Amino acid sequence: MTQKHSHCHNNHISDDNSTRTLIVIVITILTMIVEIIYGFFTNSMALLSDGWHMGTHALALLLTFLAYILTKKFENSVLFPNGTKKIPILAGFISSLFLGITGFFVITESIQRFITPLKITFNTAIIVAFVGFLVNGICLLIMENKHKNDDYNFKAAYLHILTDAMTSIFAIIALLAGKYFGLYFLDTVMGIIGGFLILKWSSGLVKDTTAVLIDMKTDICK
């Protein structure tokens, strides 16, 4: 008889994950405010758009943190006779849907930019991309822990930050190539590649969380 490899997520919930998420929320919101204010006074659309983009991730992170609060608040409540372990999984599912929407938006926006090219202010855009990468890099370091893959809610938040960092790297490469070598098409190419990668991460997380939410039996988790 062949022996199947078994790997099962236990949805490990910890106060450590909750604290890390809260720290990242504060950093994200502060960065968002600075970028929006600076973008408003300098008329920089690059800064304004990145600031609002950070805001969408802040909302996803707030959903993650709210799930932790509700899980602890109602863990002994008669309203949840089977426990509250599915609250953070539901939050992870919703957050992964937001992640998928982000992926579609990145792809469609990249295609639109290819059809109707816009003038790129390279210096400002490069600065914004570097700032975004540094902030998201710091947030990733804060959220890095050995249990991130065992907590779907936390994993969804982690992927939101990871996609931001990844798109910043792609943007930096494309902007530098466009400024110094005239390879303007890379901006569109990098956007499409990044969008499909985001969709892949999102679909995987949607599949995992759905399986847990509907108590689906699988070969990998018995």
Q: What is the mean pLDDT of residues 9-31?
A: 79
pLDDT confidence bin for 3, thresholds 50/70/90: very low
Q: Is the pLDDT of residue 83 over 90?
A: no
Asked whether the predicted pLDDT for residue 106 surpasses 70, the reply is: yes
Kindly tell me if the per-residue pLDDT of 120 is higher than 60. yes
Q: Write the DSSP assignment of the chain as a string of letters.
A: -PPPP---------HHHHHHHHHHHHHHHHHHHHHHHHHHHHT-HHHHHHHHHHHHHHHHHHHHHHHHHHHHHTTT-TT-TT-STHHHHHHHHHHHHHHHHHHHHHHHHHHHHHHS-----HHHHHHHHHHHHHHHHHHHHHH--TTTTT-HHHHHHHHHHHHHHHHHHHHHHHHHHHHHH--THHHHHHHHHHHHHHHHHHHHHHHHHHHHHTT---SS--
pLDDT score at 6: 40
- Mean pLDDT value of segment 134-162: 86
The reported pLDDT for the residue numbered 79 is 85
Domain locations along the chain: 15-213
Digit-coded pLDDT (tens) for 28-67 = 898 888 878 876 776 555 566 667 777 777 888 999 999 9
The CATH number that domain 15-213 falls under is 1.20.1510.10
What share of the chain in percent tops pLDDT 70?
85
The whole-model pTM stands at 0.78
